[in-house]
Amino acid sequence: MQTVDVGELAVSAYRKVAPDWIVEPLLAVADRLRGARVIHLSATPYGGGVSELLRSAVPLYNDLGVRATWKIISGEPAFFAVTKKLHNALQGGTEPITDAEIRLYEETSRRNAEQLSADPDFADCDFVFVHDPQPAAVLSFSDTTGARSVWRCHVDTSQPAPGAWDYLGKFVEGYDATVFTLPDFVPPTLPRDRADIICPAIDPLSPKNMSLDDRTAHAVLNWIGIEPDRPLVTQVSRFDPWKDPLGVIEAFRLVRPEVPGLQLALVGSMALDDPEGWEVYRSISDASRDDPDIHVFTNLTGVGNVEVNAFQKFSSVMIQKSIREGFGLVVSEALWKGTPIVAGRAGGIPLQVADDTGGVLVDSTEHCARELLDLLQDPGRAAALGASGRERVRRHFLLPRLLLDELTLLDGLAH
C-alpha cells in the first residue's frame, strides 16, 4: 500500500471561481469537522477520473482543517485484470468471472487489509472513503476500528450483469454509507436511506483546467503535431470500449467529406488499474492506420495535463461518445473551457449536458456525426452552447461543491 504525495492547495483561491453559496457552507461544515482524520483509498494514483478528483480534493480537505491522506492498494496485474472484469460486469459486461479470479480478488484484498491494519494512519482515523470496486473488499478483511466507512461508486451501475451486485454487494453492505452519482445507479438490494447521491466535479485551478491563452494552446498543439489552422475535433478518455473510440473514428469519417481539412485527435491515458488499455489502443491504431487526419496520443507519449487542457480549449467541438459512463469528468472539463461537446446519452453525461446547455446528446454513431457536422457548420451556435455549458459547470460541477457534499455526508455520519 502506497501513500500518494499531493501538493498544497488553498480553498481561498476558489472564491474567485466558485459561487459564494457553495463556499460559505463549505467553510461552515469543515469547521464542524476540524481535526477529523480521513483516509481515501483507491486503486491508482494516475489515469482516470478518481485519481483526477483525489489529487485536488485531498489537499483541499487538509486546507479546510480535515486531515486527509490518500492511499493506493497494491496488486499484481492479474488482480487488476479481475477488477476490470468486475467493473465491466457492473456496467453490464457479460464476460464471466471465474472462481479462481474471485479467490485472487479476495486474497489480494486480504493482503491489502493487513497492510492497512498495520498503517498508523488507519489506527486513529475517523473516516475511510473507499473508491470503486477494486478496493471495495479491503475493509471486510481489516481490523475493526471506530472509523466510519463510505463506499464511493464512480461506475455506471444502472444495468449491471446478473450476479455482479450479488457478489460485490456482500462487501458493500458492511459500509456505513454508500455514494453513487445518480439515483439510477443504486442497486435495488441496497436500502435507499444508505445511499447518497453526489456528483463528481472538476478542479478549475488545476493545470488541466486553468485558463490557457489562445497563443499557448496553439503552440502546445502545434508542438504535438496538430495543425492549428485546420479544424479539430477531439475525444479525451481512457482507452476503454465503453468510451467507444471506434465509434468516434466512424463518426469522424462520416463528417470529414463535408468539412475540408478536418482532423481528429484521440487522446487516451493508460491507467495502472486498466489492463484493457493496450488492447483498445491497438484496435484504434489498426482502425486509423494510414489516415493522416487521425492523431492518436497517450500519456505515455507526453500528453499530460497541459496538453489535455490545450486540446479541450482549442478543439472546435469535443466528442465523448460513451456508451456507459459513471460521470465523465471530461465533459465538464471541456465545457469549463467554453468548448461545446457532442456526447453519448450515458450515465452522468446528461446531468452535464442538460437544458440546452453545453452541447448535444447522441444515441448512435450516425446521430453523433450529424450533430458534429451541425456544430462545425454553425460556429455561432457552437460558441453559445460552450458559454452556457461553462456557466452550468460553474454552478454545479466545480470542486468546492463536491467537497461540500462529501463533508456534509461525513458530518452526518459523525453526529
Shortest separation between residue 287's beta carbon and ligand UDP, angstroms: 18
Q: Write down the least CB distance from residue 351 to ligand UDP, Å.
A: 12
Determine the Cα–Cα distance for residues 256 and 136; give it in Å rounded to an integer. Answer: 44
Shortest distance (Å) from residue 44 CB to ligand UDP:
10
Which residues lie near ligand UDP (CB under 6 A)? 48-49, 52, 208, 236-238, 267-269, 299, 303, 308, 326-330, 333
The CA–CA distances, whole Å, from 228 to 13, 41, 93, 220, 224 equal 32, 41, 39, 10, 10
DSSP class per residue in 236-299: E--S-GGG-HHHHHHHHHHHGGGSTT-EEEEEE---TT-TTHHHHHHHHHHHHTT-TTEEEEEG
Q: Which is nearer to ligand UDP, 326 or 386 (CB)?
A: 326
* Residue whose entry in the numeric block shows the C-alpha cell 453523433: 368
Residue 147 or 266 with smaller CB distance to ligand UDP: 266
CA distances from 403 to 53, 199, 396 (A): 10, 10, 12
**Considering beta carbons, is residue 85 or 148 the nearer one to ligand UDP?**
85
CB nearer to ligand UDP: pick between 126 and 240: 240
Give the dihedral of Cα atoms 124, 125, 128, 134; nearest 10 deg. -50
Q: Which is nearer to ligand UDP, 187 or 277 (CB)?
A: 277
CB of 342 to ligand UDP, least distance (A): 15
Alpha-carbon distance values, 16 to 206, 391, 398 (Å) = 14, 14, 12
- Residue number of the CB closest to ligand UDP reads 49
Instruction: Return the number of the residue (36 or 368) whose C-beta is nearest ligand UDP.
Output: 368
**Of residues 299 and 339, the one with the C-beta less far from ligand UDP:** 299
At closest approach, how far in Å is the CB of 10 from ligand UDP? 22
- In the complex, least distance from residue 200 CB atom to ligand UDP, rounded to whole angstroms: 7
Joined together, the cell numbers standing for residue 173 give: 453492505
Grid coordinates representing 305 are 495535463
Work out how close the CB of 329 gets to ligand UDP at its nearest, in angstroms, rounded to a whole number.
4
Strand 341-344, strand 317-320: pairing: parallel
Nearest to 217 by CA among 304, 308, 297: 308
Would you say 270 and 299 are in contact if contact means Cβ atoms under 8 Å apart? yes
